[in-house]
């Protein structure tokens, strides 16, 4: 008996949709790319409920004839290539003819479209791949497509979507990827009747300013220098951030032949060009546009794939690195930064900062959260316990690579009997059996505060200190969305923030641990930490927020501590579930073993 059957188109399209249309953001990408391919000079995007209920794209492009409008929704129907060879000379964004049939397989789609040669336009309604209605209509030249109730017939997909705020950020990111390549095209983005972005036709630089400039203080683009190089293999243009403008959050974009791409290897090239100019966890912004013959890259790009394979990656790496280096040199932005002993850089106050970097004073008696214990816990009797009985805090922690071969035994004494001293105003040192222990005071205190803050967040008991003068923090559209989704957790840790304007929040209160300082700075760090493009896991937000606040509130290195302050810190440290490393994996304590000491003599 024959068993093979051809799938009905409706089923095949749903399967294809699973690949091409994963979330509202991929739908937006496909629709806007179609508008660009149709030569539109003005494109409006309107979304409702982060694209769940409505995603609409209105363009003034060529429009479609009645027959083409109908054809557009057939599988593999495209006006953009006719034969396989055309693939190698692609100048359009789309070419597979998959997007529209995929979208219409999983949503209610309504299109109005008219070409300039026609007096009247076509109205087409399709749902679940079935044409419901086709008629003539009055409409301007161009295409107006509404995608309603995305995934209404695919509950699994619907379930996979994140909160509205996360999906809205995804939409904005997808939008950035396109509008940064087409500065000559006018774009508008409206979410729930609110205009989030209105970008007039401009130059690339002005477009960057319009998106990421915050309209206050120094222009964003004054922090960028131009990159330009032309070789036989590739031409590279764009902008990179001056080293002093680098931060923990930065805008980083690569484009190749007009498409956004991710490229970790080329990212490394840029970072290498900056080597020695930035402290460890800072990174520069960059907007880099590659132009390369389509034959030298993998052209059969999957619509959702943003990694692109270059034939000669090493050569491009070298060219890119040299180009960025040259720009940094030419614009005389050689490092003029102040390295302190550990190689960390004291960063200047950012342009927008009306607020000085957080300054925290450590008061060992101030401890509103602690339930005083009558008997002080003793030091774990064996140093090995510190290494063995502890499970790693989270999967994000690096492997323990630097465990000393011989582990000194902690002397079997109470913390109160330990002979302690502080070295270099940053290490607490005391003798242990088999060696000398070093504890970094800043990291130790970070651990202590981290667990305390997390407990408060879990109990929704963050202690807030109201500010005498509220501070304002200005944000980009996607940061505004992120901020809205973080409000709850921020409140849990003791922040009191309210939306102030379309692009700013007012900080009314900060977690008490911060002693009333650094609200803007700490919030920026939090946004950077949770906003990293790949980490959209909302469950990790709490940990990250707690860590940022802990880090900022912890005793800094370079602060002199009294004997009692050191003891108190060690006592609190010993009580933690994990204290050998900070939650982000940095070493808190380390030992100089007897063997190592003897070798010196
Ligand atoms: P592809 O873009 O890969 O060709 P799509 O399914 O996205 O496939 O679109 C199918 C066809 O519909 C396109 O080739 C184009 O001819 C037409 N089309 C889609 N959107 C528009 C638009 N906004 N304006 C004009 N034509 C369009
Ligand atoms: Mg397309």
Residues 322 and 437 reside in one and the same domain: no
CA proximity to 551, closest of 226, 149, 281: 281
pLDDT at residue number 17: 67
Rounded Cα distance between 213 and 566, Å, is 45
Token duo for residue 142: 């161009």
What average pLDDT score do residues 59-78 get?
91
Residues 44 and 190 reside in one and the same domain: yes
Residues 14 and 163 reside in one and the same domain: yes
Rounded Cα distance between 126 and 103, Å, is 10
Question: Among 201, 235, 253, which residue terminates a domain?
Answer: 201
Q: Candidates 16, 37, 144: which one to mutate for ligand 1, based on the most atoms within 8 Å of Cβ?
A: 37
What average pLDDT score do residues 406-422 get?
66
Are residues 115 and 62 in contact, defined by beta-carbon separation less than 8 angstroms? yes
In a domain, 474, yes or no: yes
Are residues 433 and 411 in contact, defined by beta-carbon separation less than 8 angstroms? yes
Q: What are phi and psi of 48, to 5 degrees?
A: -130, 135
Ligand 1 neighbourhood includes 437 CB (under 6 angstroms) = no
Q: What pLDDT band is residue 385 in, cutting at 50, 70 and 90?
A: very low
CA proximity to 279, closest of 345, 338, 342: 345
Q: Which residue has the higher pLDDT, 25 or 376?
A: 25
Residues 414 and 295 reside in one and the same domain: no
In a domain, 377, yes or no: no
pLDDT at residue number 79: 80
Ramachandran quadrant class, 297 (left: phi over 0; alpha: psi -120 to 50; beta: rest): beta
Point out the ligand nearest to the CA of residue 80: 1
Would you report the helix, strand and coil content of the chain in percent, each value rounded to 5?
35, 25, 40
Residues 176 and 51 reside in one and the same domain: yes
pLDDT at residue number 349: 37
In a domain, 2, yes or no: no
Rounded Cα distance between 284 and 247, Å, is 7
Are residues 256 and 290 in contact, defined by beta-carbon separation less than 8 angstroms? yes
In a domain, 491, yes or no: yes
Grouping H, G, I as helix, E, B as strand and the rest as coil, residue 183 is coil
pLDDT at residue number 88: 64
Residues 601 and 481 reside in one and the same domain: yes
CA proximity to 587, closest of 575, 596, 595, 578: 578
Task: Give the distance (Å) from ligand 2 centre to CA of residue 139.
Answer: 22
In a domain, 355, yes or no: no
Rounded Cα distance between 155 and 153, Å, is 6
Lowest pLDDT segment from 92-106, 150-164, 327-341: 327-341
Are residues 360 and 514 in contact, defined by beta-carbon separation less than 8 angstroms? yes
| pTM higher than 0.85 | no
pLDDT at residue number 301: 58
Q: What pLDDT band is residue 30 in, cutting at 50, 70 and 90?
A: very high
CATH code of the domain covering residue 331: 3.30.230.10
Are residues 80 and 225 in contact, defined by beta-carbon separation less than 8 angstroms? no
Are residues 61 and 143 in contact, defined by beta-carbon separation less than 8 angstroms? yes
Residues 229 and 183 reside in one and the same domain: no
Q: Candidates 20, 41, 62, 100: which one to mutate for ligand 1, based on the most atoms within 8 Å of Cβ?
A: 100
Which residue lies with its CA nearest to atom 27 of ligand 1? 34
> Using one digit for the tens of pLDDT, what is the confidence trace for 208-222?
999 988 766 678 888
What average pLDDT score do residues 352-369 get?
38
pLDDT at residue number 539: 65
Rounded Cα distance between 378 and 574, Å, is 8
Residues 172 and 247 reside in one and the same domain: no
Task: Give the distance (Å) from ligand 2 centre to CA of residue 98.
Answer: 7
Cβ atoms within 10 Å, residue 88: 11
CA dihedral 511, 578, 280, 430 (to 10 degrees): 100
Token duo for residue 42: 């003005």
Task: Give the distance (Å) from ligand 1 centre to CA of residue 95.
Answer: 8
Residues 600 and 528 reside in one and the same domain: yes
Tell me the DSSP string of 30-62: HHHHHHHHTT-SEEEEEEEGGGTSEEEEEE-S-
Which residue lies with its CA nearest to atom 2 of ligand 1? 94
Rounded Cα distance between 95 and 329, Å, is 41
CA proximity to 589, closest of 396, 462, 446, 375: 446
Token duo for residue 33: 């790319």
Radius of gyration, alpha carbons of the chain: 29
CA dihedral 12, 98, 50, 11 (to 10 degrees): -10
Q: How far is CA 35 from CA 69, 209, 312, in A?
A: 14, 24, 32
Residues 243 and 341 reside in one and the same domain: yes
pLDDT at residue number 562: 94
Cβ atoms within 10 Å, residue 525: 22
Q: What's the half-sphere exposure (Cβ side, CA atoms, 13 Å) at 37?
A: 20
> Using one digit for the tens of pLDDT, what is the confidence trace for 256-303?
998 899 898 999 999 999 988 887 778 899 999 999 988 888 766 566
Find the domain containing 134 and state its range: 9-201
Residues 195 and 231 reside in one and the same domain: no
pLDDT at residue number 511: 94
Ligand 1 neighbourhood includes 31 CB (under 6 angstroms) = no
Burial 560-581 (b: 16+ CB within 10 A, else e): ebeeebbbbbbbbbbebebbbb
pLDDT at residue number 121: 96
Task: Give the distance (Å) from ligand 1 centre to CA of residue 72.
Answer: 6
Count up the domains in the chain and report the number. 3
pLDDT over threshold 70, residue 363 = no
Position in ligand 1 atom list of the atom nearest CA 30: 7
Q: What pLDDT band is residue 382 in, cutting at 50, 70 and 90?
A: very low
Residues 197 and 210 reside in one and the same domain: no
CA proximity to 227, closest of 309, 281, 287: 287
CA proximity to 180, closest of 245, 74, 252: 252
In a domain, 367, yes or no: no
Ligand 1 neighbourhood includes 79 CB (under 6 angstroms) = yes
pLDDT at residue number 279: 78
């Amino acid at each position: 008996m024959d068993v093979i059957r051809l799938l009905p188109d409706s089923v095949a399209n749903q399967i294809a949709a699973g690949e091409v249309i994963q979330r509202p953001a991929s739908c937006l990408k496909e629709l806007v790319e179609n508008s660009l391919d149709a030569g539109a000079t003005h494109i409006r995007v309107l979304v409702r409920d982060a694209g769940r209920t409505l995603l609409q794209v209105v363009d003034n492009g060529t429009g479609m004839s009645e027959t083409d409008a109908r054809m557009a929704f057939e599988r593999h129907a495209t006006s953009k290539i006719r034969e396989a060879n055309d693939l190698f000379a692609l100048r359009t964004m789309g070419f597979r003819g998959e997007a529209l049939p995929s979208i219409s397989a999983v949503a209610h789609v309504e299109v109005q479209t008219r070409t300039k040669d026609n007096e009247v336009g076509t109205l087409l309604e399709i749902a679940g791949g079935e044409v419901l209605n086709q008629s003539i209509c009055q409409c301007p030249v161009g295409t107006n497509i509404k995608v309603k109730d995305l995934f209404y017939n695919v509950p699994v997909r619907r379930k996979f979507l994140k909160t509205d705020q996360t999906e809205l950020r995804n939409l904005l990111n997808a939008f950035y990827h396109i509008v940064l390549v087409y500065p000559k095209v006018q774009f508008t983005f409206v979410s729930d009747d609110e205009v989030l972005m209105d970008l007039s036709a401009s130059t690339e630089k002005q477009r960057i300013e319009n998106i990421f400039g915050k309209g206050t203080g120094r222009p964003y683009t004054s922090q960028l220098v131009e990159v330009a190089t032309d070789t036989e293999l590739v031409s590279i243009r764009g902008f990179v951030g001056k080293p002093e403008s680098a931060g923990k959050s930065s805008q980083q974009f690569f484009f190749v032949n007009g498409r956004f791409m991710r490229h970790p290897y080329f990212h490394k090239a840029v970072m290498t060009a900056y080597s020695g100019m930035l402290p460890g966890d800072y990174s520069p912004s960059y907007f880099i546009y590659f132009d390369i013959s389509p034959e030298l890259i993998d052209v059969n790009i999957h619509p959702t794939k943003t990694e692109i394979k270059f034939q000669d990656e090493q050569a491009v790496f070298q060219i890119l690195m040299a180009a960025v280096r040259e720009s940094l040199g030419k614009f005389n932005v050689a490092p003029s930064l102040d390295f302190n002993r550990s190689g960390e850089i004291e960063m200047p106050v950012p342009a927008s900062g009306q607020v000085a970097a957080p300054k925290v004073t450590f008061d060992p008696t101030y401890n509103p959260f602690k339930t005083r214990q009558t008997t002080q816990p003793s030091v774990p009797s064996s140093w090995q316990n510190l290494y063995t009985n502890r499970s790693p805090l989270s999967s994000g922690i690096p492997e323990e690579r630097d465990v000393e071969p011989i582990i000194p035994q902690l002397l079997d004494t109470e913390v109160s009997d330990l002979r302690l001293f502080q070295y270099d105003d940053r290490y607490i040192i005391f003798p242990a059996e088999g060696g000398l222990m070093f504890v970094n005071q800043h990291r130790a205190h970070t651990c202590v505060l981290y667990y305390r803050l997390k407990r408060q967040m879990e109990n929704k008991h963050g202690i807030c200190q109201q500010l005498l003068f509220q501070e304002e923090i200005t944000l980009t559209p996607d940061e505004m969305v992120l901020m809205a989704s973080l409000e709850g957790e921020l409140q849990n840790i003791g922040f009191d923030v309210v939306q102030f304007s379309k692009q700013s929040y007012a900080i009314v209160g900060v977690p008490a641990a911060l002693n009333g300082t650094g609200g803007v700075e700490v919030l920026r760090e939090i946004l950077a930490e949770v906003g990293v493009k790949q980490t959209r896991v909302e469950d990790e937000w709490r940990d990250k927020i707690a860590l940022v606040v802990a880090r900022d509130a912890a005793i800094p290195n370079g602060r002199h501590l009294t004997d009692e302050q050191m003891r108190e810190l060690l006592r609190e440290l010993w009580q933690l579930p994990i204290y050998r490393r900070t939650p982000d994996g940095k070493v808190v304590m380390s030992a100089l073993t007897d063997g190592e000491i003897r070798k010196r003599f």
